[in-house]
Chain A
Amino acid sequence: MNIRTVKTIFKKEMLDTVRDKRTLIMMIGVPVLLYPMLLIVGLQGALIQHATLEETVSRVALETEEPELVRGWLEDIEMVELVETETPAEDLDAGDIDAVIHIDGPVATPLAEGRSVTVEVRFDSTEFTSMDAAGRVRSGLEKDGEALLDTRLADRSLDRAYINPLQIEREDMAPPAKTTGNALGTILPVIMVVMLALGAFYPAVDVTAGEKERGTFETLLSTPTTKLEIVTGKFVTVFLLAMMTGLLNLGSMAATFVFMASQLKPILGDAVQFEIQFPPSAIVTFFLILIPLAFFISAIMMAIAVFARSFKEAQNYVTPFFVVITMPALFASLPGVKLSAGTQFIPIANVILLFRDMMTGKASFEATFAVFLSTAAFAVLALQFAAWLFQREEVVLSEEKGFPLTWRRSEFRPRPTITASMSLGLFTVMLIMLFYVGSTVQAWKLLPGLLITEWLMLLAPILLLLWYAKVNFKSALNLRPLSIGGAVASIVLGLFSILLVIQLGFWFNQVLPVPAEFEEEMAKLFSSDGSLLQVLVLLFVAAVSPAICEEVMFRGVILSGMRSRMGIWPCVLLVGLLFGIFHISIFRIPPIAILGMVLTYLTLRTGSIYAAMLVHLMNNSFAILLTTERMPAFVGTVLGLESFEEKGLPKAVLALAVLGFLVGIALVELSSRKQEKTSSETPTTG
């Protein structure tokens, strides 16, 4: 990918967008002018309304046998005026009076006898003036009632406490920052998601369907740019504009909110406490997560819009997406929904939940990482999908109505490997499957679940995909025989790499300690009564199966796909890293990624996936034998494993491992040279 070309496309798309009035109005006009204006005008109206109500005297009619007595009570009430009327009910309905005070029967007598009198305040809840009048009358009469009560208590020489044995007080101990944090934490990210989507919408449609409609797509395709460069240039435009619009909207809303709060403060007084506190770490993390979120939304929108042949058609396709993305947002705002192992992988919902946790100071590092990882995974997948669509001539050049894609096997041409971008796509799909299917079946029953994950979820779909897309199994899976020299070299390198990886795990554990629950989970995997049969079963499930299935995936399809695009060392780093990420937990990524790099290196150098399978098998078997205590005792003694948890491996063992590792590399290099001489077949795939 040529960066200059991507930049050229990006700059042109930006210029094109900026010159489009429609987009400008949507992006800048609406947030900067429309919202604040609507809100401020609305607020001003409400304030004026409020002030008028304050100044209006309430007209109240009286319906009682003893008007003189009641009138005496009412005299003290401010802003209330008594009016005489024959037809109070009708007048209230017509709005001529604001409230009616209605008392059945005598008043003075029951009061003197120590009984109570029912005073009805009749009002019309559809009229603000009537509501106000009722409120004024009610609070005024309550004061009169209190005065009457005081007289009665004084007559009997009783204290007020006598009639109030239990004084109940409620106090919200949550600091104002927490309550506003909770409310804002739910609303803000939902708004943000919608704003990002709005911001991405016009540019995404404009650079895809818009370009098709204007007939310029084919012009662009006739230039020496790759599809990936085109997608990237366009995508960066959409992504930046989405982020810009999102932030602009958020800023404009925040400003309006602060302005409104300052206007409302004198009226509401202390009744409502606004206190917004963004912990600085929350702001940083929010932006960090906003990036993959905007990435995800922009990529999906582009992918949807590229199907359309015109701006209007694209609008029809993309609009349902707004509904689709608000569903997880609604789900996340349901009471009781929390960020958990299940919800942290639901796109969009997870970001909203995480943000709420952050605002109330509950977000854990592990959860933040999981949300970031899964959002990034969805984002990459969406972009992959968009890029793949751009490669399809029937999508980009479609002229007929209807869905342009078909997947008939007869249309595929035989090929040696899948493409690099398909590799990345496959990885992401499998990662998402692992989140959902893998974790579900393993939670159901651990060992059968693991078997299902390895054989049915990983291996079977991959083989099916290769067959269907007419990909050559031998070259795509690196199924070349392993020479004896290569096998020996692999065993040596593998053995010492395993030791080094164990030590790396120990060091990493000191930087970021593995939580106790996590270790328990791992221990559960290896729990065994120690019978030979059970150990054998465990070896098959957790050593043989991953060695075959995971290797087919990583050192087979993914590696050969990547290798078709990039050099040996980038492949080693990338495939190793993907292998680490595939084990989901952040605590395991670094050591497993390093192991993955060694496995990738072995496959590339020996040309054979069997080398990686062998070492993968060794590594997992070693771990199982160790934890089930089936390892011969001398191994533990030699490696000094008794003191491993405090000190790691003894220095001598470590030095030996480093030495052995170097010897292993030398052996691998030597055997691969020899192989290149003897066989004409190159171990790389093109």
Chain B
Amino acid sequence: MLRAESLRKVFFPPRGEAVEAVKGATFSVEPGEVFGLLGPNGAGKTTLLRMLGTIISPTSGYCWVGDVRTDEAKDDIRKDIGFLSGNTKLYGRLTASEVLFYFGRLYGMDDGKIQSRIDELADMLDMTTFIDRRCEALSTGQTQKVSIARVILHDPKVLILDEPTLGLDIMTSRSILEFILHAKERGHSIIFSTHYMTEAETLCDRVGLIYNGELLAIGSKEALYEQAGATNLQQSFLNLVGDEVEAGA
């Protein structure tokens, strides 16, 4: 289970004004639930997900992974988290299997366990042909598969995926989406952000719309349609953002 309460992040650039990138986000993701975070570029998705992944610490507010409040927890809390974003690349000079071994050890797994897990994931994600190739020689799709394997290697309770399908072809996208559904069946709590409204529509149990650092609406797709007076997510989003812009003006 993943929970955020009044999460706020203020950046203090060396020059210029302080920037409030996330303005008090409160929500939770239950086990076996897929929570979609929708919003345009610069809305604060990545900052919010980084706070949940304990990559950065919130300026105020708290988050919980399971029963543990992350700011009180040691670095061990990340054993329960799988974090993937556009900025979590792989080591080019290492082979896929070396990368997975490296991270497995950092997650405190023993070598035997890592090996059997790699075999299992290589089968599941269809990686056997390139598992011993250096990451710099892999295609985008292959790289993303290795990244996915890296994220679930240690079987975390919580998966935080920041735009996992960005820039992928349809085939690879589909295998990633299938993987998310598979993880949902296995009872992981999943939060993922995306640009693609259709992806969100097919996958998510609940959706949060974020704009300008603020969570405008949270709820099931149907609830959002109703709230925004629309028939799809895209329209709902535009309507809600429109209200926001008007209110601000």
Docked complex Cα distance between A16 and B53 (Å): 26
Q: Does B225 contact A (CB under 8 A)?
A: no
- Taking a contact as CB atoms under 8 Å apart, the answer to whether B105 and A5 are in contact is yes
For A4, give its contact among B15, B87, B105, B150 (CB under 8 Å): B105
Q: Which residue of B lies closest to A216 (CB)?
A: B89
Supposing A224-B77, A393-B57 touch, asked if A219 and B13 sit within 8 A by C-beta, the answer is: no
For A8, give its contact among B83, B85, B92, B102 (CB under 8 Å): B102
The stretch among A133-141, A298-306, A398-406 that forms the contact with chain B is A398-406
Cβ distance B243 to chain A, nearest Cβ, rounded Å: 31
Q: Does A366 contact B (CB under 8 A)?
A: no
Q: Does B186 contact A (CB under 8 A)?
A: no
**Chain A interface, number of residues (Cβ within 8 angstroms):** 33
Say what secondary structure dominates the interface of chain A.
loop
- Taking a contact as CB atoms under 8 Å apart, the answer to whether B56 and A393 are in contact is yes
Docked complex Cα distance between A481 and B57 (Å): 35
Cβ distance A193 to chain B, nearest Cβ, rounded Å: 30
- Taking a contact as CB atoms under 8 Å apart, the answer to whether B92 and A218 are in contact is no
Q: List A contacts of B13 (CB < 8 A).
A: 400, 406
Supposing A223-B78, A224-B75 touch, asked if A8 and B87 sit within 8 A by C-beta, the answer is: no
Q: Does A163 contact B (CB under 8 A)?
A: no
Q: List B contacts of A405 (CB < 8 A).
A: 14
Supposing A219-B150, A223-B78, A408-B12 touch, asked if A16 and B88 sit within 8 A by C-beta, the answer is: no
Docked complex Cα distance between A346 and B27 (Å): 56
Cβ distance B184 to chain A, nearest Cβ, rounded Å: 21
- Taking a contact as CB atoms under 8 Å apart, the answer to whether B94 and A402 are in contact is no
Q: Which of B79-104 contact A (CB under 8 A)?
A: 79, 81, 83, 85-94, 98, 102-103
Q: List B contacts of A224 (CB < 8 A).
A: 75-79, 106-108
Q: List A contacts of B90 (CB < 8 A).
A: 216, 219
Docked complex Cα distance between A316 and B7 (Å): 38
Cβ distance B138 to chain A, nearest Cβ, rounded Å: 14
- Taking a contact as CB atoms under 8 Å apart, the answer to whether B106 and A223 are in contact is yes
Q: Does B55 contact A (CB under 8 A)?
A: yes
Q: Which residue of B lies closest to A403 (CB)?
A: B14
- Taking a contact as CB atoms under 8 Å apart, the answer to whether A222 and B91 are in contact is no
For A214, give its contact among B12, B14, B92, B102 (CB under 8 Å): B92
For B106, give its contact among A5, A15, A404 (CB under 8 Å): A5
- Taking a contact as CB atoms under 8 Å apart, the answer to whether A225 and B106 are in contact is yes
Q: List A contacts of B77 (CB < 8 A).
A: 224
Interface string of B88-130 (1 = CB under 8 A from A): 1111111000100011011110000000000000000000000
Q: Which of A197-254 contact B (CB under 8 A)?
A: 214-226
Q: List A contacts of B86 (CB < 8 A).
A: 215
Q: Which residue of A lies closest to B162 (CB)?
A: A218
Q: Given contact pairs A215-B88, A397-B56, enumerate 18 new A-B contacts (beta carbons under 8 Å).
A: A5-B106, A8-B106, A15-B94, A20-B93, A214-B89, A216-B90, A218-B55, A218-B87, A219-B89, A219-B103, A221-B55, A222-B55, A222-B81, A223-B78, A224-B75, A225-B75, A393-B56, A404-B14
Shortest beta-carbon contacts, A-B, top 6: A215-B89, A222-B83, A219-B88, A224-B78, A223-B106, A218-B87
